[in-house]
Amino acid sequence: MTALSAPRRPPVTLARVSRVSVVDTVTERLASLISEGHIRPGERLPSEQELMAQLQVGRSSIREAIRGLALIGVVETRQKRGTIVLSPAAGAPHPARPLADWALKDLFAVRAALEGLAAQSAAEAATPAELAAIARHAASIEQRIARGRSYFSENRAFHLAIAGASHNAVLVNCLSIVIGGLRDVRESLHLMQEGTPSRDIAEHRQIVAALQARAPARARRLMEAHLLRAVQHLQRPASAGAKTEGGRRGRMKA
């Protein structure tokens, strides 16, 4: 960041936010096609070309949305067969990844590692403007909570802003996929119960304070604990045949 005297936010930041929201919209459309049964397990998603034409978005957005869905075990891309919808039910014929608690635990373990690193780096590298933006996202989460509204978008913006303030482009790319995938799990497939908004507020405030204090080790520890807390209530299934349909519970806003 060398544009010390730039009066406005650099346009690259705006481009990134808008691209993520396009990916998000595509992810939601695909997830609802699947969750509403229009495309069933074992069937193929429409081709990239069809999706580009129907949704009027670029190839990279389609691919990123599909990568997010693949990451959480909703679809699988197979050579020459296209992208196949996987069965979410335990005991399905396909041996691969049911959308299950263990997958979410795995995802949050990765998120905790990556976002811990992001917070550590951000405590060292964030510009004052970035710190202010992170604090604004935290405040807007609190406003949404106070009004009883869902805060998924603001929450993701908060976490991605910290990733961005690490000034590590690889981290930003990895986290935009992982966090997008988790949002899809929670909102479109209705697996999650209520989060714990008051704890989110408290923990976000502590993280913001650590970043502002330029305390890398503390920022990392707080972020890791924040994310691992989100999945601590999830259990691994007692047996492979255990049906958890409609009953998965977790406290996962993070």
Structure tokens at 166: 């690490």
Closest separation between CB of residue 39 and Zn ion, Å? Answer: 32
Q: Quick one: which segment of 95-103, 115-123, 130-138, 246-254 binds Zn ion (CB under 5 A)?
A: 246-254
- Helices 101-125 & 169-187 angle (0-180, nearest 10): 140
Task: Tell the residue number behind the tokens 């710190």, with chain if given.
Answer: 131
β-sheet bridge partners, residue 84: 44, 76
Q: Does 254 bind Zn ion (CB under 5 A)?
A: yes
Q: Could you tell me the smallest distance in angstroms from the CB atom of residue 197 to Zn ion? A: 10
Closest to Zn ion by CB, 64 or 154: 154
Q: Containing H/E element for 76?
A: strand 75-78
Give how many residues touch Zn ion by CB under 5 A: 1
Long-range contacts of 138-146 (CB under 8 A, 24+ apart): 138/204, 138/205, 138/208, 141/200, 141/201, 141/204, 142/201, 145/197, 145/198, 145/200, 145/201
Interface with Zn ion, residue 134, by CB under 5 A: no
Q: Indicate the residue among 24 and 108 with the shorter CB distance to Zn ion.
A: 108
Q: Which is nearer to Zn ion, 135 or 254 (CB)?
A: 254
Q: How many CB atoms lie within 10 A of CB 158?
A: 25
Query: What are the distances in angstroms from CA 233 to CA 95, 212, 213, 236, 253?
Result: 25, 31, 31, 10, 13
Q: Which is nearer to Zn ion, 121 or 155 (CB)?
A: 155
* Nearest to Zn ion of 62, 126 (CB atom): 126
Nearest by Cα to 138 from 210, 68, 214, 186? 210
d(CA 186, CA 171): 22
Contact 47, 82 (CB under 8 A): yes
CB 53 → Zn ion: shortest distance, Å? 37
**Beta carbon of residue 33, minimum distance to Zn ion (angstroms, whole number):** 29
Q: How far is the CB of 156 from Zn ion (least distance, A)?
A: 9
Query: What's the min distance (Å) between Cβ of 227 and Zn ion?
Result: 7
- Which 3 state secondary structure label does DSSP give 202? helix
Least Å from the CB of residue 178 to Zn ion: 13
Between 22 and 254, name the residue whose CB sits nearer to Zn ion: 254
Q: Is 192 in the site for Zn ion (CB under 5 A)?
A: no
Nearer to Zn ion, 45 or 254 (CB): 254
Q: Scanning residues 199 to 228, which ones bind Zn ion (CB under 5 A)?
A: none
Task: Please give the residue ranges that form the binding site for Zn ion (CB under 5 A).
Answer: 254
